[in-house]
Amino acid sequence: MPQDSAPQLFFIGAAGTVTGSATLIDYPDNGSQYGRRRILVDCGLYQGREGPASPSAVPLFPVDPSSIDDVVITHAHLDHAGYLPRLQREGFRGTIHCTPPTAELLTLVLTDAARVAGNTTGSTPPPYRDADIRATLALLRPLAYGQWRELGNNVRLRLWNAGHILGSASAELSGADTALPEHIVFSGDIGTGTSPLLPRPEAPSGPAHLIVEATYGGRNRAALSPTQRRERLCQLVLTGLRRGGPVLIAAFAIERTQELLADFALLHDRGLLSAVPVFIDSPLASRVTSIFDRRLGPELQGIMHRGNFHFIAGDSGSRALDQAPRSAVIVASGGMCEGGRIRHHLAAMLPDEACTVILSGYQAPGTLGRTLLEKPPHVEIDGQTVAVRAEIATMDFYSGHADHAQLLDWIAARRHQPGALFINHGTDPARQALAAALRKADLGGSGIYLPAPLERFALKPAGASSLGPAPLNSARGSG
Ligand SMILES: [Zn+2]
Ligand SMILES: [Zn+2]
């Protein structure tokens, strides 16, 4: 196949970082199996230190958005979907494909991101307006797991349950048949297979080319059973309450909060912490929980509701929690302490040595959560210097990401042989550690590639060739 009729991959974002996911696949018209189709997989914002210092510094998209036919959103995290309204504003008018739960969650998170950014001086406002969000949501076309959708010009899409958050998917793209070299699987973010609310990650075997995430490349977590994890949670909370309390848990509004509630409910049912009020202080988490209530199977119905759980609605209720009973747990978003109600609780509780702050999940470099992990004497919160005397604890056992060994298992299960394996969505040390382990296990297919930002590749039946970093064409319009 001549190079100019081979599909091309263009690594727009998350190439050497864990946020800003965006990868373009360009199917040219090859005259027989498929025609021209330009598909973007994920359209995320950069966050934390990886993000721009100001909204005006958000880089223009390096591809003309009006030339993109389809966007596939693997899941509703902002670093995978948060740039969508901006893409629409700059001219994208194609179809956005995602699972039905992702479509529901996107409606909430895009609106919430705009609202939180408007209220918080510490975070970067998203680069779009409410009208852009509404126009974007009108382009959503949900697709259930396991069903092929014809996108046009003989290019097809199928979504697989990635087990990372509710609705998360790995995306499979192919020509009319799954012949080489146009059969590609994007892992998206891969889950751990140990959540009480999510299935083990699924994906097809035998794709020509793989694009895999590497958030936890080179790092393994202690293998805890769901029961052991619940016991660790219970111990952490009891230790915090013995210091005097309250215990503040910084949790992502999607998935982590619901997973914690399910575990608090199961503890409650064993008579543990059942008299301790658990305040869920996040309007977004409360709305997301109702989506879970509707979307979870019958065996999990009611799992996030017990008599000692209180969902806080208004801002005044949230402020009042700073005078809450000492023997209480407050679960607030956001998970990396960059926005949301967690910030005013931190300002109130960090100076108090009786309080305990528990961080759950990945804390990206440059976020307040990451700073707190280093236990500094004081931190800046919304222009205010706040002393840190509270206990800072972590719960990495609740990560939504496959660790190193689980990533290797996932890749091995794809029985990946003929083509290229691209590792993105990870820092360079994480990507290199995963690449080294894959080579050692002979799982690298015909080549392992760690794409650089804006690097393009031509896909071949057995491998890929780099075309170097270069924009396809410049974006129209500006800020
Ligand atoms: Zn994610
Ligand atoms: Zn991600």
Cα dihedral 473, 474, 476, 479 sign? positive
Third-level CATH fold of 226-398? Rossmann fold (3.40.50)
Quote the ligand 1 centre to 78 CA distance (angstroms). 8
Quote the ligand 1 centre to 30 CA distance (angstroms). 34
Quote the ligand 1 centre to 401 CA distance (angstroms). 8
Quote the ligand 2 centre to 3 CA distance (angstroms). 31
Quote the ligand 1 centre to 136 CA distance (angstroms). 20
Q: What is the pLDDT of residues 316-332, one digit of tens each?
A: 888 888 877 899 999 99
Q: What is the pLDDT of residues 280-317, one digit of tens each?
A: 999 999 999 999 999 998 989 999 999 999 999 888 88
pLDDT attached to residue 25: 95
| Segment of 193-202, 402-411, 438-447 carrying the highest mean pLDDT | 402-411
DSSP letter for 212, please. Answer: E
Quote the ligand 2 centre to 393 CA distance (angstroms). 23
Residue 28 confidence (pLDDT) above 60: yes
Quote the ligand 2 centre to 459 CA distance (angstroms). 24
Quote the ligand 2 centre to 266 CA distance (angstroms). 29
Quote the ligand 2 centre to 44 CA distance (angstroms). 9
Report d(CA 345, CA 250) in Å as an integer.
10
pLDDT attached to residue 6: 83
Quote the ligand 2 centre to 259 CA distance (angstroms). 18
Phi, psi values for residue 173, rounded to 5°: -120, 140
Quote the ligand 1 centre to 77 CA distance (angstroms). 5
Strands 278-281 and 329-332: parallel
Q: What is the pLDDT of residues 265-282, one digit of tens each?
A: 999 999 999 999 999 999
Quickly state the pLDDT bin for 397 (edges 50, 70, 90): confident
Residues 6 or more apart in contact with residue 120 via CB below 8 angstroms: 339, 340, 343, 382
**Tokens representing 337?**
């302490």
Which ligand has an atom closest to residue 214 CA? 2
Q: Which residues of 235-274 are buried (b: 16+ CB within 10 A; e: fewer)?
A: ebbeebbebebbbbbbbbbbbbbbbbbbbbbbbbeeebbe
E-state strands within 291-399: 309-311, 329-332, 356-360, 378-381, 384-387, 391-395
Report d(CA 325, CA 344) in Å as an integer.
17
Quote the ligand 1 centre to 33 CA distance (angstroms). 33
Strands 169-174 and 155-161: antiparallel
Quote the ligand 1 centre to 415 CA distance (angstroms). 24
pLDDT attached to residue 291: 96
Phi, psi values for residue 296, rounded to 5°: -75, 155
Third-level CATH fold of 3-219+400-469? Metallo-beta-lactamase; Chain A (3.60.15)
Contact 197, 166 (CB under 8 A): yes
Which ligand has an atom closest to residue 47 CA? 2
Report d(CA 254, CA 3) in Å as an integer.
42
> Which residue has better confidence, 78 or 461?
78
Residue 462 confidence (pLDDT) above 70: yes
Q: What is the pLDDT of residues 163-188, one digit of tens each?
A: 999 999 999 998 876 665 678 999 99
Contact 401, 201 (CB under 8 A): no
The residue ranges of every structural domain in the chain are 3-219+400-469, 226-398
pLDDT attached to residue 52: 54
CA 270 to chain centre: 32
Phi, psi values for residue 57, rounded to 5°: -90, 0
Quote the ligand 2 centre to 340 CA distance (angstroms). 20
Q: What is the pLDDT of residues 123-168, one digit of tens each?
A: 455 677 889 999 999 999 999 999 999 999 889 999 999 999 999 9
Quickly state the pLDDT bin for 55 (edges 50, 70, 90): very low
Sheet containing 391-395, strands listed edge to edge, beginning at the edge strand earlier in sequence: 309-311, 278-281, 329-332, 247-250, 356-360, 391-395
Residue 375 confidence (pLDDT) above 60: yes
Quote the ligand 2 centre to 425 CA distance (angstroms). 7
